[in-house]
Amino acid sequence: MKLLLPLVLALTFSVSTSRADSTNPPAPGFDVEGSDARAIEIADGVMEALGGRKNWDATRYVTWRFFGRRFHVWDKWTGNVRIEDKDLTVLMNINTRAGRAWRAGSEITDETELAAALERGMALWTNDSYWVFMPYKLKDSGVTLKYMGAGKMSEGRDAEILQLTFSDVGETPENRYLVYVDPKTMFVVQWDFFENASDVAPELSSLWQNWQQYGRIMLSDDRGDRRHTDLAVFDALPASVFESPAPVDFKTP
pTM of the model: 0.87
Read off the pLDDT of residues 138-187 as tens digits, 9 standing for 90 and up: 999 999 999 999 999 888 899 999 999 988 655 556 789 999 999 999 99
Distance CA 163, CA 161 (A): 7
90 contacts 119 by C-beta, under 8 angstroms: no
Share of the chain above pLDDT 90, in %: 80
Position with higher pLDDT, 22 vs 21: 22
Distance CA 203, CA 178 (A): 11
Mean of per-residue pLDDT scores for the chain: 89
Read off the pLDDT of residues 38-97 as tens digits, 9 standing for 90 and up: 999 999 999 999 999 999 999 999 999 999 999 999 999 999 999 999 999 999 999 999
Ramachandran angles phi, psi of 193, nearest 5°: -110, 125
CA Rg, the chain, in Å? Answer: 18
Helix (H) or strand (E) holding 150: strand 143-152
Q: Report in angstroms the alpha-carbon separations of 101 from 30, 85, 127, 218.
A: 33, 11, 19, 31
- DSSP letter for 8, please: P
Helix %, strand %, coil % for the chain, to 5?
A: 20, 35, 45
137 contacts 10 by C-beta, under 8 angstroms: yes
153 contacts 11 by C-beta, under 8 angstroms: no
Domains of the chain: residue spans and CATH: 37-242 (2.50.20)
